[in-house]
Amino acid sequence: MAVIKKAKKGNPVAGLVLAAGASTRMGTPKQLLPVGEVVLLERVLGQTLRSKLDLVVLVLGFEADEIRRKLRSGRHPSNLKIVENADYRLGISSSIITGLSHVEKDYAHVMIVLGDMPFITSGVINRLLSSYLESGLPLGALKVREKRSHPVIISRPFFPALHRLPGDQGARDLFNRYQNQVCLVEPGEDYDDMDIDTYEDYLELKNTLE
């Protein structure tokens, strides 16, 4: 088992907002589903940009040009970088690797934020970020209803492991393998960690917001 050094509080943290998927279960780009006055991805991205992350990298893929045009938050804020994952059909691992490749030289930690979680807030992100850095542990995640949830945060010693992720697989196995090195953080507010995969999920979201 690898010996993992503790995270240092002063090291910068980049957020990777993953929004490259083709929404095959939805049948239409879920990134652009209307949620109130904005689209779903805009809702997530806006909260992430308002957080204390040093940089936000938005990873697009499917219908990237159309999504760029629809995003208000994508109008050149200094803390946002938009990149495209040409291999998005290979699954979520390809988006993690794409985003990581743009930040791993200069950033000591990455927070992975899923672009289809409508109730994420800057407060939840900040709480995870600060608790993780205070802990000195190399992995961090939210704890919702007694289970590990997203977002998650990963330090530099584990970047090589992220590069080796296969297909449509995120970092779950990494967190399972190193459970004793994970900082689990309660959201600190009434946080719903639902994600939107199907049209039924979207209808449930709309009913919740009405």
Average pLDDT, the chain: 90
Distance CA(38)–CA(120), nearest Å, equals: 15
Q: What pLDDT does residue 10 have? A: 61
β-bridge partners, 76: none
C-alpha to C-alpha distance for 114 and 201, rounded to whole angstroms: 15
Entry pTM: 0.92
Q: Was domain 13-209 assigned CATH 3.90.550.10?
A: yes
d(CA 178, CA 29): 34
Contact 138, 6 (CB under 8 A): yes
105-160: pLDDT as tens digits: 999 999 999 999 999 999 999 999 999 999 999 999 999 999 999 999 999 999 99
Residue 76: the pLDDT is: 63
d(CA 129, CA 136): 11
HSE toward the beta carbon, residue 105, CA cutoff 13 A: 2
CB-facing half-sphere around the CA of 146: CA atoms within 13 A: 0
pLDDT in tens, 171-195: 999 999 999 999 999 998 889 999 9
Buried b / exposed e over 12-41, threshold 16 CB at 10 Å, is ebbbbbbbbbebeebeebbbbbebeebbbb
Please tell me whether residue 175 adopts helix, strand or coil conformation. helix
Domain ranges of the chain: 13-209
How far apart, in whole angstroms, are the C-alpha atoms of residue 59 and residue 97?
10
As given in the structure block, the two tokens for residue 138 are 């190399």
